[in-house]
Amino acid sequence: MKPGIHPDYHPVVFQDTATGDAFLTRSTITSDKTIEWSDGRTYPLVLVDVSAWSHPFWTGARRIMDTAGQVEKFHRRYGRRK
């Protein structure tokens, strides 16, 4: 690898704003906010809207689809074909 062309890869804490859960990983992202982690060190903090703790696919809180209403809307818009 060429020296000096790659971004700084450092530890960062990502925190889910919906649930408050956080995890420590490595990333090239930067942030002005910081947080003190359980190991006593201070790391950059990146706030995310959705993570595995709040994503509907992983939590099982799926949206109920009104498929009958969608079909009726389609027929009203384009009519029934014979």
What string of pLDDT tens digits covers the 82 residues of the chain? 688 898 889 999 999 988 889 999 999 999 999 999 999 999 999 998 888 777 766 566 655 556 667 778 888 888 876 6
User: What is the distance between the alpha carbons of residues 29 and 7, in angstroms, rounded to a whole number?
Assistant: 9
Task: Judge contact between 35 and 21, C-beta under 8 A.
Answer: no
Task: State residue 52's pLDDT score.
Answer: 76
**What are the CB-based long-range contacts (under 8 Å, 24+) for 67-71?**
none
pLDDT in the model for residue 70: 76
